[in-house]
Amino acid sequence: MKLLIVTVVEEFEKEILRLFKEARIENFSGSDIDGYKNVTSMVHTSSWFPSEKGGVESSLFFSFTEDENIDSLFEMIKEFNNKLETNNPIKAIVVPIEKSI
């Protein structure tokens, strides 16, 4: 069993949920997050509108799942990302689990 972590911009959220289903990853958790790229050196509080949101609406999903499901999902994500016309690919990582209860 391993920990799968996936981030995706809001625009592709339905697509990653479909890919999870196809990869037989049925149990997972998710959360809304703000994604940032090319962070400037300017401190956020020095901006003209510090209360204004600067990130891209994104989602983070994670699942404790088996290797074969992860392999299947990674292949589908690679295929999906290769067809993208934007600079916001689906990102995924895998973390081994040493112990669990």
- Per-residue pLDDT of the chain (101 residues), as tens digits, is 899 999 999 999 999 999 999 999 999 999 999 877 765 544 554 455 555 556 788 999 999 999 999 999 999 999 999 999 888 999 999 998 888 88
The pTM assigned to this predicted structure is 0.80
Which string of DSSP letters, residue by residue, matches the chain? Answer: -EEEEEEEEGGGHHHHHHHHHHTT----EEEEEEE--S--SS-GGGSSSTTS--SEEEEEEEEEE-HHHHHHHHHHHHHHHHT-SSS---EEEEEE-S---
